[in-house]
Structures are given as structure tokens and as C-alpha cells.
């Protein structure tokens, strides 16, 4: 990857009228569109204008390397039966929407049988569907419908813990073999102030707040739970646990799924000596309270070396199944941590791990982010992947504030341009294509365990409910998520009247239309295999080029500033650029039209606007 540099913009070319939230009236011009625009749904012709100095031989990429993977949080996507909770049949109803969106795979957050203490991440049966979402037959119909339109289906695999109502745990409590050691049990320490009372064996803390140990009176021991007390940690020092969890993977593979997202990977293995963890440096100065998870440095409970052996075994299981029909089953993993820790989850040639661990670098983007911050986030991932590593980009998920909330809705198109046109796999959280923001959720409406545990004064800091509010389908009651008169499990964001899929599909200039064009453009050779040249013309301007010998160059320019700016791309990228560039995909606030010609030395962008350009002549 070329080293980054810089560029800058001023006023926009004949700005169009300001669009409504998420949509705008003026249609884009389509005459004179470039070759890259053809990939985005517009006709083009013309010779190459720029080629990188060096290019590797084109390689055939596997499906997941060029994919847009769309995360659905099922509870919040579409309610088909009027109980206020999204379900599998609701997703099936919307497969046509997903096809029109252009996504290649759908990843479902947990749909398994669960008491729903953590809304599906506390699993009581790993091989059945919870009735709130439907049945195994409903799952089969969804899978068949997705496959019929060439969309793959990925499931969450939650191996760190089960529900405390799982039969394994219920038998482990009673020391029934072979389940007695399926979980992490400890005697604890005597309480010096009360000899009849036991204290937890160490100072480990739950991610959801408070001790990571709960006393079970029937067993007469503490059990470990790195999340809610209703989510006891499985014991991977027991080979039977490993075997049974591999059987879970095999069950779903044989049912036809195309891969998995592995949940909470850093927590899978703990220090067997149960030693205390040290205080986290600087935590108190950052306002972290004692008893909150961030108050400790988690060197005994996260990222232990044995974790990678588990991943290698699961990857081997997926690869073996892939060899039966030649279709790759994908394994992507969730692992928050230091960059070096996360990169280890790729594994190596001797023991492959994940196809990729999630790249969370862009989750730090907010309304104070500079172009240098974004450049550094991209560089640090691209420059530190191990040999054979493949990049991926995501802007949000069900556990993090939405990107349009963090950076502002004006930059929704810009952030989608970044995640969809950087080299690698794109992972999209439902609603990002609309510029959806977090919905307001009051304390009285809060249901998320870490939010409830934090109490009414601090719940907003910890609750994940706002990013999980229902998908906004239209401007009818409940945003079309659930029938009128039904109370959704979380309140619908009030923005649904102007930010919804139906209105954005009707208008030719909207976040949804920009997203669709970007996804289509990803199918072009330069977007799939082109080299990356990343520049920072100024602290508020980010520009990058995708370059591939023999085809046009794509350039993306983003203005992060609250004022207009102008980028001199000739200075930023060198004198080989043509005098004029063609607009391929403009953001809805750019004032630019598809097919419009702009001076490469004077690319003018209004505040928070962005554009995809091509070197192809009209």
C-alpha cells in the first residue's frame, strides 16, 4: 500500500437543493457516465488514464473476499406475527430487499433457544431455534429462499458460554457425569470476617459489571461467568466440551449454512491457576469505577494462547466440510483487543485460524475524527496483517453506537464509501444503508443487561439498546417493523418518518441509492483487486485511489470539515491524472451529478460531502 499524503476542497459545483434526511428529490444525470459508473448501473466507455507502476498477476478471489456481509439483528429486523419481536419469517419476507441491496451474505445474530436474559446470547439449546424467532422449518425456508437468490447465510456461533438453563449446566450443578466439569467451578476463599461464608476465588470481573463469579448453593461452589450470571463459561480444558461444540458446528453445516461469526473469542480460555488480575493503568483517571470491567487489565481472562488452538480446530472442521463440495465455509471472529492480539487470530499456514478477525478500527470514528485518524486506522490494519491475511471493514454492529450517530448523518455516505471501496470484505450492520441513527431509549425502556446493571444514572454509557432499535421500513405505524397497535420490544426511533427504506427507494438521490451503487461498483475488477493509494491532503480531507493496470482508476474524496473544501488530486496523486475526472457516485449532499466532469486539480466538496470519481473519459 502506498504511503499516505494529503489534499483539499472549496465550494461545490452548482449545489443541488438540500436533500431531506436520507433522501433528496433531484435525480442524478446519467448521460456520459464512465466505465466505473457502468459497474454502478450506468453506461460507459473510454481508455485508461492512470495505471499503478507495479501490479501482481490477477488472482481469482473466493466469494467471501469480495463479499458484502449484511448483519441482521433478528429481534429488530421484521416482525411477521405481531408479537413486537422480529423473527425468521420476517427476514424471509424481506429477502427481495436484501437482493436489491446487492449483499452477498447475511449474518444472523443468535436465533437459538434461549431464556433471553442477554437476548439470545444465553443459549439453552445450540441446535434448535427459539420459538420467538420461529422453528427449524422456518429456518430451512429462509435458507432456501436466500440460496435461491445467491445470498449465503452465516450464523452466530457462541462458544464461550451457555445459558444456566442448558441441560449441560443443570447436570453440572449436580455433578452428573460427564457434565461435572463442563463449566469453570471453584471453591472460593474463606471470608475472614465470617468463616461460614465463602468469597469468590479471585478479583475477576464480568463484562456486564460486578464479580465474574456466582455462588451456586446446590453445587457448593462458585462458577465463572464473564458476562451475565445466567451465562456460565464453558470449560475448554475438558476435551468433551470441545467435541460437543464441534458437533454444534457440524449440525448447522449439514443443515446448509455457509459459515459462522464466532462470538467473544478472547474470553474462551482463562488462567487455570485463577490468579488475580492487576488494575488497568489509567482507568481511574478515565472515570472508570471500581467493579466495572474496564478497571482491570485482563491478562488472565482474555487472549490466552490456547484460544488459538480452539480456533484452528473449528477452522479445520469448516475446511473439511468445504472440501465436500468445493464451497468455502467462512469463519469470521469477534475479538476486541490490541492490534497484535487480534492479528494472531488469523493463525498461520500450519494452523489457519479465522478467515479474518473483525477489524474494529473504524468504530473509533466520531465527529472529531480527522483524515489522519482515518488514514492511521486503515494503515495500521493493512500494514500489520500476517502473510496471507485478508482485510475487512465494518462501521458498526449490535454492540456499538451506529456510525451515523458517531460521525453525524451527513457523513453516512462517506463512511459507506470508505468501508465498501477499501480493499477487502465489507461487513455492514442493518440500517447503515439508510443512515439510521441510534434510537432514544429511556431508562424505563432499557432492557439490555449491562445498561440495567449500571443503574439509572449510568445506564446510557453501557446500554446497547439504542443501536438495536427496530429497522425503519416505512413511515407507517411502528415504521413497518410490526403491525399498528403492537408494542415493539424496543421503541422505534422517531426519525422513521423521514429516514426509512420505502422513501429512500423511491427517491433517486438517497443514502440507500448511494449504497446500492457502491455495492454494484464493488463488482468491478479495480474495486476487487486494485492497489490502494491513500492520501490526506489536509486534516479534514481524505482521498484514496484504487489502481489496477489496464482499467480506470477510482478515486474517493471525503470532506470531514463543517465547511466547503477543495482537493487538488493532481498534487496528491501525481501528474498522471487526466485534467478531468468523471463523477461515478456522489454523496447526497455533494451537489454533484453522476457523469458530471470535474477538474482533477479542483474537486470542490461542500461540508461533510464525498464523491467517487473515475479517470475514464465520458
Q: Determine which helix (DSSP H) or strand (DSSP E) holds 380, and give its type and residue range.
A: helix 371-382
Which residue, among 497, 608, 396, 402, has the nearest Cα to 23 in the 3D structure? Answer: 497
Which cell is 182 given?
A: 463442563
For the four alpha carbons of 580, 584, 586 and 592, in that order, the dihedral sign comes to: positive
Per the DSSP assignment, residues forming a β-bridge with 10 are 565
Classify strands 554-559 and 541-547 as parallel, antiparallel or unpaired.
antiparallel
Query: What whole-number distance in Å separates Cα of residue 290 and Cα of residue 210?
Result: 9
Query: What whole-number distance in Å separates Cα of residue 152 and Cα of residue 508?
Result: 28
Question: Would you state the torsion angle of the CA atoms of residues 367, 369, 370, 371, taken in this order, to the nearest 10 degrees?
Answer: -110
**Contact by Cβ (8 Å): 557, 603:** yes
Number of residues that make up the chain: 618
Residue of 138, 258, 263, 438 marked active site? 263
Query: What whole-number distance in Å separates Cα of residue 292 and Cα of residue 452?
Result: 14
Residue of 13, 122, 277, 334 marked active site? 334
SS3 of 181-207: CCECEECCEEECCEEEEEECCCCCECC
Counting Cβ atoms within 10 Å, is residue 383 exposed (0-12), middle (13-18) or buried (19+)?
exposed
Query: What whole-number distance in Å separates Cα of residue 435 and Cα of residue 75?
Result: 20
Which cell is 336 given?
A: 476486541
Q: Is 263 part of the annotated catalytic residue set? A: yes
Query: What whole-number distance in Å separates Cα of residue 316 and Cα of residue 319?
Result: 5
Query: What whole-number distance in Å separates Cα of residue 583 and Cα of residue 616?
Result: 10
SS3 of residue 88 by DSSP: helix
- Taking CA atoms, 45 is separated from 37, 464, 529, 549, in Å, by 10, 48, 20, 17
Q: In the block, which residue shows the cell 458517531?
A: 406
Which cell is 280 given?
A: 488497568
**Contact by Cβ (8 Å): 407, 459:** no
Q: What is the DSSP letter of 328?
A: P
Contacts of 489 (CB under 8 A, 6+ apart): 75, 76, 84, 85, 447
Query: What whole-number distance in Å separates Cα of residue 396 and Cα of residue 251?
Result: 29
Q: In the block, which residue shows the cell 449441560?
A: 168
Query: What whole-number distance in Å separates Cα of residue 51 and Cα of residue 58?
Result: 14
Query: What whole-number distance in Å separates Cα of residue 245 and Cα of residue 165?
Result: 17
Query: What whole-number distance in Å separates Cα of residue 333 and Cα of residue 77?
Result: 23
**Contact by Cβ (8 Å): 266, 303:** yes
Q: Is 125 part of the annotated catalytic residue set? A: no
**Contact by Cβ (8 Å): 436, 496:** no
Catalytically active residues, by annotation: 263, 334
Amino acid at each position: 500500500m502506498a504511503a499516505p499524503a494529503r489534499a483539499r476542497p472549496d465550494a461545490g459545483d452548482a449545489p443541488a437543493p438540500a436533500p431531506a434526511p436520507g433522501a433528496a428529490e433531484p435525480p442524478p444525470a446519467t448521460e456520459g457516465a464512465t466505465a466505473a459508473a457502468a459497474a454502478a448501473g450506468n453506461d460507459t466507455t473510454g481508455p485508461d488514464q492512470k495505471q499503478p507502476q507495479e501490479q501482481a498477476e490477477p488472482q481469482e478471489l473466493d466469494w467471501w473476499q469480495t463479499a458484502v456481509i449484511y448483519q441482521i439483528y433478528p429481534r429488530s429486523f421484521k416482525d411477521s406475527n405481531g408479537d413486537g419481536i422480529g423473527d425468521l419469517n420476517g427476514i424471509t419476507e424481506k429477502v427481495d430487499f436484501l437482493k436489491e441491496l446487492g449483499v452477498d451474505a447475511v449474518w444472523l445474530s443468535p436465533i437459538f433457544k434461549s431464556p433471553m436474559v442477554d437476548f439470545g446470547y444465553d443459549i439453552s439449546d445450540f441446535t434448535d431455534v427459539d420459538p420467538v424467532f420461529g422453528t427449524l422449518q422456518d429456518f430451512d425456508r429462509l435458507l432456501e429462499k436466500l440460496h435461491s437468490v445467491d445470498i449465503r447465510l452465516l450464523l452466530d456461533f457462541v462458544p464461550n458460554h451457555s445459558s444456566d438453563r442448558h441441560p449441560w449446566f443443570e447436570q453440572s450443578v449436580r455433578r452428573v457425569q460427564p457434565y461435572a466439569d463442563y463449566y469453570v467451578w471453584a471453591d472460593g476463599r474463606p471470608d475472614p470476617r465470617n468463616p461460614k461464608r465463602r468469597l469468590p476465588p479471585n478479583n475477576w470481573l464480568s463484562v456486564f459489571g460486578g464479580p465474574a463469579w456466582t455462588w451456586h448453593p446446590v453445587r457448593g461452589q462458585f462458577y465463572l461467568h464473564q458476562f451475565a450470571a445466567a451465562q456460565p463459561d464453558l470449560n475448554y480444558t475438558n476435551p468433551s466440551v470441545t467435541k460437543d461444540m464441534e458437533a454444534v458446528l457440524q449440525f448447522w453445516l449439514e443443515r446448509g449454512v455457509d459459515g459462522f461469526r464466532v462470538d467473544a473469542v478472547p474470553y474462551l480460555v482463562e488462567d487455570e491457576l485463577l490468579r488475580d488480575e492487576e488494575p488497568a493503568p489509567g482507568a481511574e483517571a478515565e472515570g472508570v469505577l471500581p467493579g466495572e470491567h474496564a478497571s482491570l487489565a485482563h491478562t488472565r481472562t482474555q487472549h490466552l494462547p490456547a484460544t488459538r488452538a480452539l480456533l484452528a480446530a473449528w477452522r479445520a472442521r469448516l475446511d473439511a466440510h468445504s472440501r465436500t463440495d468445493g464451497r468455502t465455509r467462512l469463519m469470521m471472529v469477534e475479538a476486541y483487543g490490541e492490534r497484535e492480539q487480534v492479528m494472531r487470530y488469523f493463525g498461520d499456514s500450519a494452523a489457519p485460524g479465522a478467515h479474518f478477525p473483525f477489524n474494529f478500527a473504524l468504530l473509533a470514528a466520531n465527529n472529531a475524527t480527522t483524515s489522519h485518524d482515518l488514514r492511521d486506522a486503515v494503515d495500521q490494519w493493512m500494514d500489520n496483517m500476517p502473510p496471507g491475511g485478508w482485510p475487512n471493514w465494518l462501521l458498526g454492529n449490535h454492540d456499538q453506537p451506529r456510525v451515523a450517530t458517531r460521525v453525524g448523518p451527513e457523513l453516512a455516505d462517506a463512511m459507506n464509501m470508505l468501508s465498501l471501496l477499501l480493499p477487502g470484505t465489507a461487513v455492514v450492520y442493518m440500517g447503515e444503508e439508510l443512515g439510521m441513527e441510534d434510537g432514544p431509549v429511556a431508562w424505563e425502556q432499557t432492557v439490555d443487561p449491562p445498561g440495567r446493571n449500571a443503574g439509572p444514572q449510568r445506564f446510557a454509557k453501557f446500554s446497547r439498546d439504542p443501536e438495536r432499535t427496530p429497522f425503519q421500513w416505512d413511515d407507517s405505524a411502528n415504521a413497518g417493523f410490526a403491525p399498528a397497535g403492537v408494542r415493539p420490544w424496543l421503541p422505534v426511533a422517531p426519525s422513521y418518518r423521514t429516514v426509512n427504506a420505502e422513501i429512500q427507494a423511491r427517491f433517486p438521490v438517497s443514502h440507500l441509492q448511494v449504497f446500492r451503487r457502491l455495492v454494484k461498483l464493488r463488482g468491478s475488477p479495480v474495486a476487487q483487486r486494485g492497489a490502494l493509494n491513500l492520501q490526506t491532503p489536509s486534516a479534514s480531507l481524505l482521498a484514496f485511489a484504487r489502481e489496477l493496470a489496464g482499467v480506470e482508476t477510482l478515486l474517493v474524496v471525503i470532506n470531514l470539515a463543517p465547511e466547503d473544501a477543495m482537493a487538488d488530486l493532481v498534487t496528491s496523486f501525481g501528474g498522471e491524472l487526466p485534467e478531468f475526472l468523471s463523477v461515478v457516485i456522489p454523496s447526497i449532499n455533494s451537489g454533484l451529478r453522476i457523469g458530471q466532469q470535474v477538474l482533477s486539480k479542483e474537486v470542490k466538496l461542500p461540508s461533510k460531502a464525498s464523491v467517487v470519481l473515475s479517470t475514464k473519459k465520458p
